[in-house]
Amino acid sequence: MNQDRLRLDLAGLAEEVTPVDLRDRALRTSRRLGIQRAVATSAAALVVLAAATGTALAIRPNGQGPAPAPAGPSVTSTAPPVEVTPTPERSATASPTGSPARPPAALTGTRYYLEMTDTRAQIHAVRVGSNQVVHKISYARYGCEPNTVTVSPDGKRVAWVQDSTDNGTSGVLLAATIGEPEATTLLDEVNCLGPRPLVWQGSDLLMVSRKSGQSVLLDVAANKRVNGDPGQETDRCWSADGRWLAAMADDKPYVTDGTQSRQYRYTPPKDEAAHWGGWQARSVSMDGRYVSVGWVGTDPSRHDDSFAVVDTTTSRVVDLPGSGDIRSILFTVDGKVIVKRAAGITVLDGSFKPIGTVTESASVRNMRLLAYAP
C-alpha cells in the first residue's frame, strides 16, 4: 500500500518537472555571475568615490545606478583594493600641443665688427642678444691703424699696423690677444696701404707686405717668420681654415690648395668698373670652389666690401637670394655664407640656399664685419 502510494507520488512529480538543457543552465548561470561581479565592481568604485567626496551612495540591485542615500545612521563599508596606473607627468621642456617649435638662430657664433673714430678703433663682439666692446686701439691721428685692423678667423687675435712718420704709408706691425691690453711687436716697415694690407692664412699665420714690396708670412702665435718663399702672387686671400688660396699671377686669377690649382675668369660690371682700380678676391669657400670679389680702391682708404660670388669651376657669377645692396660676403669655417646687406644679414648654406636672416642693431649696422667665429 505504502509502496504503491510512493510510486504514484513519484510519477506525479515527474510529470510536473520540465526537462532543462544543462548547457543553457550553465550559460545563464555564467551570465548571472558576470552581472553580479559587474555590480560589485561598480559598488566598490562608488564606495571609493563616496569616501573621497564624503557622500553616501546606495546601489540598486538591478544596475540602474545609485539611489538616494537612506535616512538613518551612516554605514562604513570597505571596498576591495583598486590598482591605479599613474599618468606620466608632461616634460617641462615639451612644447604645448600644436605650438610650433622655435627655429634655431641662423648665426649662433660671434661676429666681430670694427668701429672707427678719428682717434680710436673698437672691436665689437656680437652674439645673439649681446654686443660687447672687447678691444680698443688708440692712435694719434687717422692713418695706418684704421686701415689695417684685422681679426683672426677664430676671433682670438687682433693685428694692426701702428703709424710711423711717413705720412701713413707704413709702420710697425703689432698683434694682441682679443681683450688683453698688451701688444707684441712683430715687424717694422710694414705697408699699410690698399684694401687688404694684412691677410690671415688660417688663425695663426699672417701675410704682410713690407715697404720695400717684399711679402712676409708670419706665425703670430709664435712671433716668428715662416721659412720659405711666399711666392710672387698678389692679391692673396685664404679660406678661413687657411687651406685654399685665391690670388693673382700674371694678372690671371686662380685658386689652389697646394696640390691642385685652377684658373677662372671674371668681368666686373662695366657701369662701376670705371670708378675703381680693378677687383680682387675677398673671401674663399672651404672647398675652394667659390670666391667673393670686391673692388680695389684707387686711394689709400680701406675697402672691405664685396658684391658678387664667382664659381671658380665655371667662371659663372652665382645668383644670390635676397635683395638690396650687398656690402660684404663672407664664407665661414663652418660652411655658411654671410651676405651683409644694408637692411641686415642673410645667411646661406654651402649651396646658397637661405638658412635665415639676422637683424643687425643700429649700433653695428654701418660697421665693417671683420670675422665670424662659430
CB 158 within 8 A of CB 179: no
pLDDT for the residue numbered 92: 33
Residue type at 213 in one-letter notation: G
Strand partners, 66: 59
- The pLDDT, as a whole number, for residue 102 is 53
Q: 257 to each of 238, 248, 254, 350, how far by Cα in Å?
A: 10, 14, 11, 19
Asked if the model's pLDDT at residue 10 lies above 90, the reply is no
Q: How far is 365 from 245, CA to CA, in rounded Å?
A: 29
**Per-residue pLDDT reduced to its tens digit, 268-326:** 998 888 888 899 999 999 999 999 999 988 666 677 889 999 999 999 999 999 888 99
Percentage above 90 pLDDT, the chain: 55
At 83-140, the pLDDT tens digits run 333 333 333 333 344 445 555 688 999 999 999 988 999 999 999 889 999 999 999 8
Q: What single string gives the DSSP state of each residue in 52-79?
A: HHT---EE-TTSS-EEPPPSSS-----P
Cβ-proximal residues to 241 (8 Å cutoff; 6+ apart), any chain? 153, 202, 286, 333
Question: How far apart (Å, rounded) are the C-alpha atoms in residues 95 and 79?
Answer: 40
Give yes or no for residue 228 having a pLDDT over 60: yes
Q: What is the pLDDT of residue 302?
A: 78
**For 48-81, what is each residue's pLDDT tens digit?**
333 334 443 333 434 444 444 444 443 333 433 4
Mean predicted lDDT score pLDDT of the chain: 79
Residue 301: per-residue pLDDT = 67
